[in-house]
Amino acid sequence: MNIRSAWLLNSTDADGGQTRVDTRLAPLGTMTPNGVLSSRDGVIPGSVGGNEAISGLRVFGDTAGMSAKVAPGRAVVQSTEVAGAYPVVCSEHTSVTFGDGDPGYPRVDLVVLRIYDAQQDASNQTAAVIEVVQGIPAANPVAPKTPLGSLALAEVTVPKGASSGTGGINWATAVKDRRRATVAVGGIIPLGWGLGFDGAYPGQYRDTGVGLERWDGQKWMPYPQRPSWQDYTPIWRATQGPPVNLGNGSVTGRYIQDGPIVHFRAELTIGSTTTWGGSGSNGNWYLSLPVRPVAKPVHTVNFRARIGGESNGYFHGGAEISASYEEKGVARSWSAVQASGKPTGFWVDGDDPMPPVAKNWYEVYGTYEAAV
C-alpha cells in the first residue's frame, strides 16, 4: 500500500497497521498552527533537481487519455479541530482516472488527498487515499469545494465530450496546481506556496520570492523592515545675538535612519519678512538635525546655498555636525567656494558670505552617525 498515514490505525505491524517505516516517513511534530488545536495543512516542501519549491504530490498527465499521475510526497491533512491533523506519505507515483466529459459542457474536477477515519466521520472506512472529486458541468465551470479531511492538490478541466477515444484531456493546459506548503512551527513558508493567507501568530514568516515577510498579528510586514524617508521641520537659529525670525520664509527637512546611520537634508528659504541680527551681533546660523548625533568625532556634511543676488552664483562648502545648541544637535555651515571658483571660507550667517535676500536658500545634507 503506497499511501498510508501515521497514527491512523489502532493495530500492530503484524496485522497491517502502522509500521516503523510509516512512522519514519510520515511528518511528525508540531506544524504551523491554524488555530488553537488545528494545523495549517499542506505539502511538506522538497525539491527535485532544484526546479520546484515543492515537487511532492504534483499532479501531471504523462500520456494522452483520461488518467493522470500524482508524484510521491509528504503532507499534513487537517480534519476537524478535535480530530487533529494527519501526517501522510505517498511513497510511489499514483494514478488517478477522470470520468468522461459531459456531452454539452466542460467541468472542473478536483484532485484531493483525503483521510477517511471511521472513528471521526461517517465514512465507515479507515484509509488515506488520492481521489477525484467530480465537478458540475457548466458553461463557466468551477471546481467543487474541498471535502472535510482533504487537501486539494489540483484542479483539472475536463472538456465537453472528452474520453479516451476522443483524445482525452489536454494535460499541457488542463491542470491548475492547488497545492500549498506547510512547515514545522517557526519555519518559513516557501515562495509561491505561502501567499494569500493570514498569519497564525505574531512572529510567523513567509518567503515572497524577493525577501521575507513577518506577521505582526494583523498584517504581513517586510522583514527586516526597510527604513523610509520621513519629513521633519528643522529649527533655524543663530549661535549668539538677536534671535532670527522666519516670517514668511520656510524650513523643510527629510531624513532616513538605518540603524545608527542617518541620511538627511535640511533647507532654509528666506522670505520677504524674514529677519535676523545685523552686523556684529549675528551669530553663526544653524539648522537642527532630525536625530541626535554622537558627540565625537565631529562629522562633516555638505553645504550648498544661493545667497545674495543670482549673479553671485552658488556657494558650497561643508557643515559641522554638533550635538550642541539643540536637543537633537545641529548642522553649522561654512562656505568654501563660489560657483565661479573663488574661495570664501566664511561661517554662514546674516552677513557672510554676503547678506541674503528673499527667495535665497540655504541647504545642508549628508550622512552622520546617530547617538545610541
Task: Record the cell numbers describing residue 93, joined without a space.
Answer: 507515483
Average pLDDT for 176-203: 84
- Same domain for 156 and 235? no
Query: What is the reported pLDDT for 15?
Result: 55
What's the structural domain count of the chain?
2
Numbers of helices and strands, H then E, in the chain: 1, 25
Query: What is the reported pLDDT for 14?
Result: 55
- Same domain for 123 and 260? no
- Same domain for 154 and 263? no
C-alpha distance from residue 204 to each of 27, 180, 183, 216, 259 (Å): 20, 16, 11, 8, 23
- Same domain for 340 and 237? yes
Average pLDDT for 320-338: 90
Asked if omega into 33 is within 30° of 0 (cis), the reply is no
Element (H, E) at 23: helix 20-25
- Same domain for 248 and 169? no
- Same domain for 169 and 306? no
| pLDDT tens digit sequence for 52-101 | 556 789 999 978 899 999 999 999 999 988 888 899 999 999 999 999 99
Examine the pLDDT at 2 and tell me if it is beyond 80: no
Examine the pLDDT at 349 and tell me if it is beyond 60: yes
Q: Are 246 and 271 in contact (CB under 8 A)?
A: yes
Residues 221 and 226: their CA atoms lie apart, in Å, by 10
Examine the pLDDT at 48 and tell me if it is beyond 60: no
Residues 33 and 307: their CA atoms lie apart, in Å, by 64
Mean pLDDT of the chain: 87
Instruction: Indicate if the alpha-carbon torsion angle 255, 332, 323, 297 is positive or negative.
Output: positive
Examine the pLDDT at 296 and tell me if it is beyond 80: no
- Same domain for 159 and 283? no
Q: Confirm whether 253 is domain-assigned.
A: yes
Q: Are 8 and 86 in contact (CB under 8 A)?
A: yes
| pLDDT tens digit sequence for 215-239 | 999 999 999 888 899 999 999 998 8
Among 5-9, 304-308, 343-347, the range with the most confident prediction by mean pLDDT is 304-308
Strand order across the 85-90 sheet: 3-5, 85-90, 73-78, 42-43
Q: Confirm whether 333 is domain-assigned.
A: yes
Comparing CA positions, the residue from 54, 2, 49 lying closest to residue 26 is 2
- Same domain for 296 and 234? yes
What is the distance in angstroms between the CA of the first residue and the CA of the last residue of the chain?
Answer: 63
Q: Confirm whether 329 is domain-assigned.
A: yes
Q: Confirm whether 357 is domain-assigned.
A: yes
- Same domain for 174 and 238? no
Q: What is the pTM of this model?
A: 0.65
| pLDDT tens digit sequence for 243-263 | 789 999 999 999 999 999 999
Tell me which residue range forms the domain holding 103. Answer: 3-30+57-178
Q: Confirm whether 219 is domain-assigned.
A: no
Question: How does residue 336 score in pLDDT terms, banded at 50, 70 and 90?
Answer: confident
Comparing CA positions, the residue from 171, 154, 150, 153 lying closest to residue 162 is 171
Average pLDDT for 156-163: 96
Q: What are phi and psi of 136, to 5 degrees?
A: -100, 125
Q: Confirm whether 222 is domain-assigned.
A: no
Domain boundary (136, 161, 178) is at: 178
- Same domain for 135 and 14? yes
Domain boundary (156, 178, 200) is at: 178
Strand order across the 188-189 sheet: 188-189, 205-207, 212-215, 220-223
- Same domain for 156 and 11? yes
Query: If DSSP codes are grouped into helix, strand and coil, which group holds residue 158?
Result: strand
Residues 322 and 328: their CA atoms lie apart, in Å, by 9
- Same domain for 169 and 237? no
Which stretch of 49-53, 74-78, 177-181 has the lowest confidence by average pLDDT?
A: 49-53
Alpha helices, DSSP H only, in the chain?
A: 20-25
Q: Confirm whether 328 is domain-assigned.
A: yes
Q: Confirm whether 72 is domain-assigned.
A: yes
